[in-house]
Amino acid sequence: MDYNFHWKPVIKALPELLEASLLTLQVAAISIVFGIVIGLGLALIRLHMTGPVKWLASAWVELARNTPALFQLFFFGFGLGSFGLHLSPYMIVLLALSFNNAGYLAENFRGGFGAVPETQIRASRSLGMTAFQAYTRIVIPQVLRIVYLPITNQMVWAVLISSLGMLVGFRELSGETQFFASKTFRIFEYFAVTAVIYYVIVKLILGASRLLAVRLFRY
């Protein structure tokens, strides 16, 4: 092996890379919040509604689950661009991630709702709760407990696929890495450090989610 590693430029760029990884975390976290809210809506629509609204929700879920994330990113980037809707790289990644998260989480929520017995809703209704109260106070807390682990996994997945942002010019961790790598041609060194940062981020998310689970559900 006659390759000389040059780590110095990477060390020098480390503050920028860490700052960019905050952007990665930020976009992943916001997209997860959108994903949870929209996914909940999609799951409820698919469970309780009929007609074109249900059809649309099903189309969303199936498209998000059965096409590559990169395709979805290109679609929000270039596909919408052909309709004259030009989004910033940040918005492209955020929308594509939210679209993807919502589709995957909707299926998890559907399974979660299926796990809460119908009789509980009837019992809470007969105690005088409105349908809204029954859902927000009885059903959803239980569903959240069931889908907590899938949400954590989806958060990790969102961080991983946010790395595709570098292909649409978004300067999150991967994009920033590529920017520096193409300035210095130290591609391997930069991406090796970035791989380590991603690994640490994923482990931090999993660790934080475990701590949160202890507090929330007293596992």
Partner 1 sequence: MQPTATFFSGFTLNDLWFLGEAALKSMWISILAITFGSAMGVVFGWLLSVSRRAGALTLAPVLDVFRSVPLIIQLVLFFNFAPMIGLRLNPFEAGLIVLVVYTSANVATVAQAGIEAVGGPMRRAARSLGMSYWQDMRYVVWPIGLRAVFPAWIGVALGVMKDSALVSVLGYVELLKASQILITRTQETFLILAIAGAFYFALSYPISHYAARLEKRWTQ
Residues that bind partner 1 (CB under 8 A): 1, 3, 62-63, 65-71, 74-75, 78-79, 81-83, 156, 159-161, 163-164, 166-167, 174, 187-188, 191-192, 194-195, 198-199, 202-203
For partner 1, the closer CB: 90 or 157? 157
Is residue 93 within 8 Å of 162, Cβ to Cβ? Answer: yes
For partner 1, the closer CB: 53 or 196? 196
Which residues are CB-contacts of 203 (< 8 A; sequence separation ≥ 6)? none
For partner 1, the closer CB: 14 or 187? 187
Minimum distance of partner 1 from residue 105's CB (angstroms): 15
For partner 1, the closer CB: 135 or 157? 157
For partner 1, the closer CB: 199 or 217? 199
Q: Is the dihedral of CA 102, 104, 110, 111 positive or negative?
A: negative
Which amino acid, one-letter code, is at 29?
A
Minimum distance of partner 1 from residue 84's CB (angstroms): 11
Minimum distance of partner 1 from residue 200's CB (angstroms): 9
Distances (CA, A) of 64 to 57, 72, 92, 146: 11, 8, 15, 22
d(CA 195, CA 201): 10
Minimum distance of partner 1 from residue 125's CB (angstroms): 29
d(CA 176, CA 100): 23
